Structure 1
Amino acid sequence: MQELMIITSYFPPEIGAASNRIYHLANGLTSHYNVRVVTPLPNYPTGKIFSEYKGNFSSKAIEENIEVNRIWIYASKSKNKFIRLFAMLSYSFSLIWFFIWNKIPNKVIVQSPPLLVAFTCMFFLRSKKRKLILNVSDLWPSAGYELGALKKNLSYKILKQLEVFNYKNADLILGQSNEILSHIEKITKKPDLFLYRNYPNIERPVIIENSSENNKLKIVYAGLLGVAQGILKLCQNLNYDTIELHIYGSGAEENEIKAFVKANSNLSIFFYGRIDRKELHKALLKYDVAIIPLLNRIYGSVPSKIFEYAKLGLPMLYFGGGEGETIIKEYDLGWIAEVGNYNHLNSTIRLMDLSSNGIERKREIQDKAFENFNFDKQLASLIEIL
């Protein structure tokens, strides 16, 4: 079989949509390619090298028929922009060293963002004999600007130039949203474009009927507790008269959320931290509704939770705007609240009625998901054009 390399900044055992997406892609491609993954020593989202990898400069192992090469990175979750830049540069330098001493196959998939890491790959791996596939999951630096993480200064202009370079030097671009592909099309006509959604490859779970002792609506959030998700602000602005909020995950806001929960023990908020993905799927089945919030509408972003929750048969309360909102409406997967409008969010919750046909509703959502968000069909279409 042909060799194919995937270069990514995130990979299991790290958690989150990015690592899950790349793992499923790599695993799916093993039926047609000898897949090699190059990734940093695992450190996300804690900002510390995981204990089982500490003291190593690199590691190499076969994991589920995938050759996984883990290389050095200066791990940090510091909010200092210079330390964050150094962390990205450290991985870029490690990649250059890896490229020098290892044979690189003729097909390479590069994950973007981070832009600087993607640029390193696109610059050093350019070759007429090599096909470079850029997998774009977010539109940086514009997404960073919308989040308030970046300002339109010299650094922003440099990042924009890196973005354009990456697009123009790709032979094929995979975008997880139509907005991403539309944005790229305005910049360059060179690469082929392919809509590659973050469909999870999971077994169909059995829907269970839930009961509540206090008749409160059980809302769950599971995922990254970062700035973009705004979970702390969500905790502060929800009306808890008729609901419970259950939180799973870890990230930058974790300590602040735990402190808020502890200081407001009268509120129906329950924090569980990070748990294994398989255990999380089992836990999610007992809730009424999953909430998917974004602090601000981010152009190009489609939370992968939409597809995962739908396959679990979990109705969704979407609070993020953009293309994700369109998908919820198109497939009738739940309710929409105006992004950033907490009054509208609370009024939407008050109007939600799950008392009748709850289990049938969940089964309908699950049926739609397995029919329309089919990982195998999407992968087969991708393999045809690789």
Structure 2
Amino acid sequence: MKDILIITSYFPPETGAASNRIFHLATGLEKQNFKVSVLTPLPNYPKGRIFEAYRGTFKQTSIENTITIHRLWLYASNSKNKLLRLFAMISYSISLVWFFIWNKIPNTVIVQSPPLLVAFTCMLCLQRKKRKLILNVSDLWPIAGLELGAFKKDFSYKLLENIERYNYKKADLVLGQSNEILTHVKSLFPEKETFLYRNYPDFELPKLEEQFDSGEKITMVYAGLLGIAQGIYRLCKSLDYTNVVFHIYGAGAEQEKIVQFISKNPDLPIIYHGEVSRDTLHEVLLNYDITIIPLLNRIYGSVPSKIFEYARLGLPMLYFGGGEGEDIIRNHQLGWISKSGNYSRLNATINNLSKDELGLKKRLAIQQVAKKYFDFNCQLLKLTTRL
């Protein structure tokens, strides 16, 4: 049985795409006869506070589903203050170094990036001749930060670019969740070994049944992080509600603004349901006609993992984010595309939708695409041959 360590900044009981992705990777490798351990901070995302059950300790080790999980201290923060967020990453990096000093590290290590600084700490401290370092890149930083307006092209940006290049250089294998990520890595290091590792979910296909909704309007749902990048607050203000009722699930930085907007506009058909568990969400999503996957701005290298999760649920999608995600929606006929940032075009697309074209036939076709092309276990088996 081969030992493998996964180092990540996000892991359950935290919610979100990042923690789900690493959880599925860990449990999948365990089923493939790897002895898996996970190194992660004490749970704190997305609220920026250590979860109550984990407070008062600097380290907690547990065995969950035969996986050993080491949770390390960090200064938790989701503050908009860049210095506080930087200190949070540095604090976790310090905890990692301390762990590396006092513990035996396996010869195969998967490191999640971003955060860049955490990945840099791992690549710097863990490089050994006999050790294989695998960098799992889910987003291209600092490029994504520049496109989101979080960075400017100054000295600090140049420093982050150098850290990014160092991480790629020291990695024996780079996993990327999009072809754009792998193209970027290859542009810097043409000989680097890479592997396309999409964020496919791993759950049973639900049984789909015909919906009997007597309402005339289409029910559209958004579920996920209510952050600045997703632009749900602006979406609430920009939608034409003639043909749609908008349901929202999730939490994040824009949550309060969205709740206040709904309160001040009670005549608009917007319903905020708060945050629910992933299992509950899978059940309730089956009741809606279509889901929307928005990004306020097109982010190079980003492919929302919701695409693959919703496909498995057989849920038609309206994609409003640009980039590689558009190609996946279009090539596999998973739904409709509207150009990122063009709200008038988005409203025209919604107003042209009908309940008939969102029915059981469409849902079953989408689910079959997921079964054939987005299979977690097939992808994992191909990855294990590279570990």
TM-score (norm 1): 0.99
Asked if the contact 2:10–2:45 (Cα under 8 Å) also holds between the matched residues in 1, the reply is: yes
State the 1:189 CA deviation: 2.8
1:103 aligns with 2:104: yes
State the 1:356 CA deviation: 4.8
* 3-state SS of paired residue (1:27): helix
Partner of 2:134: 133
Which amino acid in structure 1 is aligned with residue 321 of structure 2? Answer: G
Cα distance change, pair 209–128 in 1 and its aligned pair in 2 (3 A): same
Partner of 1:166: 167
Identity of matched residues, %: 60
Partner of 2:2: 2
State the 1:190 CA deviation: 4.2
State the 1:129 CA deviation: 0.9
**Equivalent residues in 2 for 1:58-97 (5 A)?**
58-97=59-98
State the 1:357 CA deviation: 6.9
**Equivalent residues in 2 for 1:84-233 (5 A)?**
84-233=85-234
* 3-state SS of paired residue (2:318): strand
Rounded Cα–Cα distance in structure 2 between residues aligned with 1:275 and 1:129: 44
Partner of 1:347: 348
Rounded Cα–Cα distance in structure 1 between residues aligned with 2:52 and 2:247: 28
Asked if the contact 1:8–1:37 (Cα under 8 Å) also holds between the matched residues in 2, the reply is: yes
Rounded Cα–Cα distance in structure 1 between residues aligned with 2:310 and 2:19: 17
Partner of 1:358: 359
Rounded Cα–Cα distance in structure 2 between residues aligned with 1:147 and 1:274: 25
Structure 2: state its 5+ residue gaps: none
Rounded Cα–Cα distance in structure 2 between residues aligned with 1:271 and 1:73: 32
State the 1:256 CA deviation: 1.1
Rounded Cα–Cα distance in structure 2 between residues aligned with 1:285 and 1:158: 45
Rounded Cα–Cα distance in structure 2 between residues aligned with 1:152 and 1:273: 37
Which amino acid in structure 1 is aligned with residue 284 of structure 2? Answer: A
Which amino acid in structure 1 is aligned with residue 378 of structure 2? Answer: K
Structure 1: state its 5+ residue gaps: none
Deviations 1:96-155 (A, max 9, x none): 011011100000000000000000000000111100000000000000000011111111
Rounded Cα–Cα distance in structure 1 between residues aligned with 2:364 and 2:234: 32
State the 1:259 CA deviation: 1.1
Asked if the contact 1:134–1:170 (Cα under 8 Å) also holds between the matched residues in 2, the reply is: yes
Which amino acid in structure 2 is aligned with residue 172 of structure 1? Answer: L
1:23 aligns with 2:23: yes
1:368 aligns with 2:381: no
Asked if the contact 1:171–1:190 (Cα under 8 Å) also holds between the matched residues in 2, the reply is: no
Asked if the contact 1:168–1:190 (Cα under 8 Å) also holds between the matched residues in 2, the reply is: no
Structure 1 range deviating more: 357-366 or 209-218? 209-218
* 3-state SS of paired residue (1:371): helix
Asked if the contact 1:37–1:66 (Cα under 8 Å) also holds between the matched residues in 2, the reply is: yes
How many residues are paired up? 386
* 3-state SS of paired residue (1:139): coil
Deviations 1:217-243 (A, max 9, x none): 000000111111111111110011211
Runs of 4 or more off by more than 6 Å in structure 1? none
State the 1:172 CA deviation: 0.3
1:330 aligns with 2:331: yes
TM-score (norm 2): 0.98
Rounded Cα–Cα distance in structure 1 between residues aligned with 2:179 and 2:42: 32
